[in-house]
Amino acid sequence: MTDLNAIHQPVLLNECVDLVTPALAHSDAIVVDCTLGLAGHAIAFLKSSPDAQLIGIDRDEEALHLATERMEQEGLSNRFIPVHAAFDDFDKVLESKGIRQVDAAFMDLGLSSLQIDETSRGFSYAHDAPLDMRMDTTQTLTAAEVLARYSVQQLTTIFREYGEERFSRPIARAIVERRESQPLLTSKDLNELVDSTVPHAHRPAGNPAKRVFQALRIEVNGELEKLSRTLPQIAMRLKMHGRIVVESYHSLEDRTVKRFMTAGTRVNVPPGLPVIPMEAQPYFKDLTHGAIKADETQIEENPRSASVRLRAVELIRHIPEHALKHYEEHGKERE
């Protein structure tokens, strides 16, 4: 049987458990792990909350299978519902299960250990593999197709916005020129191209292709758009004193989460107003007071935690109509 504990180290596990489980301290509590992965966090939530039920969502069928296997090993499968879906199908998942509201929702936006360590999908620039990068292998768009079809401007935009890559345009031009004679099909191909394009004097620490790989992964999987669609869905499904807990690993992800949570923690009135109406009062309570980061010991034990930003809020009053309307309109715009 696969030793899943050996390949999976959940990031900021204790901190996540401390933030999620207070919302689950009652019978029939429901928590949704929107990014199940290998169920490291999910198992800890269920062990800390013996009356809770967990819905685990993942778009990666292999991860879902292994997480289910692990739940069975831990004797928790009777309180676990696995669902193959992208997390922006949050509403549809709950509707399919006949669930109206939940007590907590958790998101770990980093790549799972399975995706990083499994070399066959080309997520990692450290291993030579086909440029796939799909979290859901049933979808059609791959990293290789992005590199083969996108224009110089499109490639420049995703490298700059999703990878914050300083040399986005030279890399994009080099890709388009190269594919005229030879397609970029493997991580080695892309590594070598970036290595020959980025000036040695201006290279960041580590592999110069790191940001390009990150940008391609975000583009292939539509990660930022899915995140911005999902957070409002969670908010509208949350019970009173329910909690949203999110781990981000990329500045754009963290900015999206921060903007969403901050909108609910601030008083929404012009400065100097003598009386603040109820509908303008904050509806979220900031539980982390900014972002929690991994300390030196945690980073040493698990280097993947170096870039993590953990944020959490609690619903402290009903979301006002103007915010609900904004969420609904935001969702319709992105459908």
Strands (E) across 14-70 are located at 30-33, 53-58
Is 88 annotated among the ligand-binding residues?
Answer: no
Whether the CB-CB separation of 122 and 187 falls below 8 Å is answered with: yes
For residue 3 the two structure tokens come to 């030793």
**45 labelled binding-site residue:** no
Place of tokens 């388009």: 176
295 is in an annotated binding site: no
One-letter identity of residue 126: A
| DSSP output for 65-76 | HHHHHHHHHTT-
- Identify any residues that bridge with 318 across adjacent strands, giving them in sequence order: none
- Residue 242 annotated in ligand binding: no
Is 250 assigned a ligand-binding role in the annotation? no
Beta carbons of 299 and 305 less than 8 angstroms apart: yes
How many helices (H) and strands (E) would you count in the chain?
14, 7
Q: What angle do CA 279, 281, 285 make, to 5 degrees?
A: 130
Tokens coding 262: 């901050």
Which residues fall in the annotated binding site for S-adenosyl-L-methionine? 39-41, 58, 87, 108, 115
Q: Which residue positions form the known binding site?
A: 39-41, 58, 87, 108, 115
